Amino acid sequence: KNQVEQSPQSLIILEGKNCTLQCNYTVSPFSNLRWYKQDTGRGPVSLTIMTFSENTKSNGRYTATLDADTKQSSLHITASQLSDSASYICVVSLPNQAGTALIFGKGTTLSVSS
Amino acid sequence: DGGITQSPKYLFRKEGQNVTLSCEQNLNHDAMYWYRQDPGQGLRLIYYSQIVNDFQKGDIAEGYSVSREKKESFPLTVTSAQKNPTAFYLCASSIDAGLDYNEQFFGPGTRLTVL
């Protein structure tokens, strides 16, 4: 069964600290992996998209890594800010499937406190 | 100002009523999608449309209906047959539903509550 598991479920960190969110998937075959940021009550916004051949991709203070062999991805946030408080969703895409290709994780809720 | 808009932001429905959620995009995208998000759950696909006048059921289509009469618009109707409609509804669009590296852009969402 195609699944995307994220950990931890929730995380609280102090402003300025770094953190790493984890994503394990059992999706096969695999096309690409995406990380989205979703603020409370808003729609998700894309942070990174990686194909199976990419190991790392950065977007400002956000760095995503991918190990296609172990089927693990991580999202590292550097020097956290209060505005980083949000849910972070890992999404894995199946290839060649129109419309139904995305498998969503349940998300990690990050709270950054001052 | 390009993007996806959803209205209303909040919607209240009495049991037995049908309600329609609006989704409009001016990104010139061919594909549009409707997802449902429940607390502690991943997004689930309700319906998607690859082209005008065509749409396909997703994983949880029962109790919902859609239309795609214009490229820009993809309204979702939550019917009285949907047993548990209280949720956060997200509309998305992408250039083409068939491309693997196809980024989906999401609207701001509509929160539906059944009274």
**A88 → chain B, closest CA residue:** B42
Question: pLDDT at residue B111 above 80?
Answer: yes
Nearest to B107 among A36, A43, A49 (CB): A43
Q: Give the pair of three-digit tokens for residue A55.
A: 């190991």
Which residues from chain B sit within 8 angstroms of residue A106, using beta carbons? Answer: 40-42
- Taking residues A93-109, report their average pLDDT: 84
Q: Does B40 touch chain A (CB under 8 A)?
A: yes
What are the CA-CA distances from residue B41 to residues A28, A48, A89, B99 (Å)?
21, 21, 11, 26
State the Rg of chain A over Cα. 14
pLDDT tens digits, one per residue of B7-37: 999 999 898 899 999 999 999 999 999 999 9
User: Confidence band (pLDDT; 50, 70, 90) for A29?
Assistant: confident
State the average pLDDT for chain A.
93
B10-13 and B110-114 strand pairing: parallel
**Looking at residue B70, what DSSP letter applies?**
B
Q: A18 near A74, Cβ under 8 Å?
A: no
Q: B42: which chain A residues are within 8 Å (Cβ-Cβ)?
A: 4, 89, 103-107
**Residue among B4, B48, B109 whose CB faces A41 most closely:** B109
Per-residue pLDDT at A28: 82
Q: Which residues of A touch B (CB under 8 A)?
A: 4, 31-32, 34, 36, 41-46, 49, 51, 89, 93, 95-96, 98-107
Contacts of A95 in chain B (CB under 8 A): 100
- Res A94: pLDDT: 84
Chain B residues with beta carbon closer than 8 angstroms to that of A29: none
> pLDDT band at residue B103, thresholds of 50, 70 and 90?
confident
- Residue B99, pLDDT > 80, answer no
Radius of gyration over every alpha carbon of chain B, rounded to an integer in angstroms: 13
Q: Are A36 and A105 in contact (CB under 8 A)?
A: no
Residue A41's identity, in one-letter code, is G
How many CB atoms neighbour CB B98 within 10 A? Answer: 15
Residue at B92: amino acid letter = A
Which residues fall within 8 angstroms of residue A1, CB to CB, at 6 or more apart? A26
Q: Residue A98: its pLDDT value, please?
A: 67
The average pLDDT across A47-64 equals 94
Q: Which residues pair with A59 in a beta bridge?
A: A62
Report the 10 Å Cβ neighbour count for B45: 22
Higher pLDDT, B54 or A99: B54
Average pLDDT, integer, range A15-34: 93
Strands B19-25 and A45-51: unpaired
pLDDT for residue A31 is more than 90 = no
Examine the pLDDT at A76 and tell me if it is beyond 80.
Answer: yes
Q: Of A2 and B20, which is predicted with more confidence?
A: B20
CB atoms within 10 A of CB B57: 15
- Beta carbons within 10 angstroms of residue A43's beta carbon: 22
- Neighbouring CB atoms inside 10 A of B19's CB total 19
CB A107 within 8 A of CB A87: yes
Chain A residues touching residue B31 (CB < 8 angstroms): 98-99
Centre a 10 Å sphere on the Cβ of residue A60 and count the other Cβ atoms it contains.
Answer: 8
Query: Looking at residue A61, what is its pLDDT?
Result: 98
Is residue B1 predicted with pLDDT exceeding 60? no
